[in-house]
Chain A
Amino acid sequence: MWWIKKALVLDPAQGYTGERDVLVKDGFILKVGNFLEEDVPEFFGQENLEGVKIVEAAGKYLFPGLIDVHVHLREPGQEDKEDIRSGSRAAVRGGFTSVLAMANTKPVIDQRALVEFVRLQGERAGMARVYPVAAVTKGFQGQELVEMMDIREGGAVAFSDDGLGIQNAEIMRLAFEYAKLTGCPIISHCEDENLAARGVMRRGEASARLGLKGIPASAESVMVARDVLLAGEAGGKLHIAHVSTKESVMIIRTAKKLGIDVTAEVNPHHLLFSDQDVGLTRTDLKVNPPLPTKEDQEALLEGLLDGTIDMLATDHAPHTWEEKAKPFPEAPFGINSLETALAVVWQELVEKGKLPALKVIELWSRNPAQRFNLPGGTLETGSPADLVLFDPAYKERITAESMESKAQNTPFLGQELQGFPVMTWVGGKLVMADRKVICN
């Protein structure tokens, strides 16, 4: 039981911010409000008072735990990069109480047994809630659909071949149609492989200057257009992963106006780094989709503010040091993000007035919960006590030693950031305090 006193509460579900006390009992939110000292014992019940721990939270924000709908935890098969235990520990350190683990592991998660394995590994780790995302097509081959119903029974909350785009439009259309049985969204990694043509960064003057093979913006946008049309036609649920072009934003905005059931996410790195930041030795910034132009960044931010884009997601993609210590074209795509994402969004967007704090929580907690039908995302009485206490003044240098993730492929390595979660609860259980994961 917890009595969190005088926190600055951010709860987009109830639309408020302000100083409140938060009471937690039996893993659930008991009450949120401004209470008189003497009233509180009654809420917990006099007989329980000894078990109530008090947190003095003045000057710190309290919000529903973040839900990240796009992480790569690499287990099974690539445990040298990350595993479900290390990834879910990194998650709670970063303020995430739930994560959706992508299916591009080895083997890919395309059967119920594998889905259950991922779910169970998450439960064993006992950190963030780990929700499996299953493949859309068997073996990521883009040819035959997986047993979606059986897999949903096993605990999958969405389907995605993320890592690869589904090139065959007819398969994608069938996926939308069949997935209606499950009620789960299809998460689309929008990438036309012929247009992308094994490029390594956004095509433009920056790629021309560096002599790096470029991926045109259209490689993403034409697939976004295709998928919203297919979802509209088939009537399925579409979630577009890692939107990075202004054209994609425009298409999604139009699709929403047409009533198509589409949501979309943007990754913090696409808001914070542009193609101008890429250099031949900056493999830490090699990511897919590639870093966009400044114009794209403006459109993405506008999309977040006007509701075109529904959520933030990290696309946490750990890779070993050796894999990134290569010439740019040979290094793998991906940024290690769970432990820095909230801090940099806070430092660069919230503090600079580009994104209101309450909006960030809506984008990263409430909207993901609603779209993927997950518990959390709200502080309403009776909801699970997935909570984050966030200290906007807390400073930390990002180092290999301090990180819970197995990999350190972050562009912030060695840098000091400001604004970090200092306590994280999952289901009322404290899993992180003072920036340290609490072991069982």
Chain B
Amino acid sequence: MEGIPKNRIMDEDGIRRAISRISHEIVEKNKGTKDLLLIGIRTRGVPLAERIQKRIAEFEKVTLPLGLLDITLYRDDLSTIDVQPVLHETRVPFSIEGKTVILVDDVLFTGRTARAALDALIDLGRPQKIQLAVLIDRGHRELPIRADYVGKNVPTSRREIVSVCLQETDGRDEVLLLEKKS
């Protein structure tokens, strides 16, 4: 989605610090790393989950299992959109039964993506707990969903777009606030 840049919400350092803080909070809240799993929501939740996995490994010396989730088939807007979204593989090569799953995404907005991810996850098994980690929470929820770990809360208007760029997918680390072109 095109937009006119308004300001930079986070730079490379900001993103790094947020990831680091979320990583610590995850371990703290769950009292260690036992039974923890990371699952990134495609597309940008995946590199974020990888970074969290790496950060936790640095200070806990434990590499958490990491899965990828494609939520396209769980979207509730498929019959109303014009475009044809590309399907990607969901890869969760371990059992989630009885585990604590940390779902990772870039932006929490209406909550519909998270809702789809919860449905997709539950189709894979019955975890003990599911927690949600996001880099940005921009408000405007349409469903009763909240994040357990937030990198940064950014108050926005609906006319604005939050654009998360990551080295792995976009070649640079930054979060921008854009104004929708009218």
Do A and B come into direct contact in the complex, CB within 8 Å?
no
Binding site for A on B (CB under 8 A): none
Residues of A within 8 A of B (CB): none
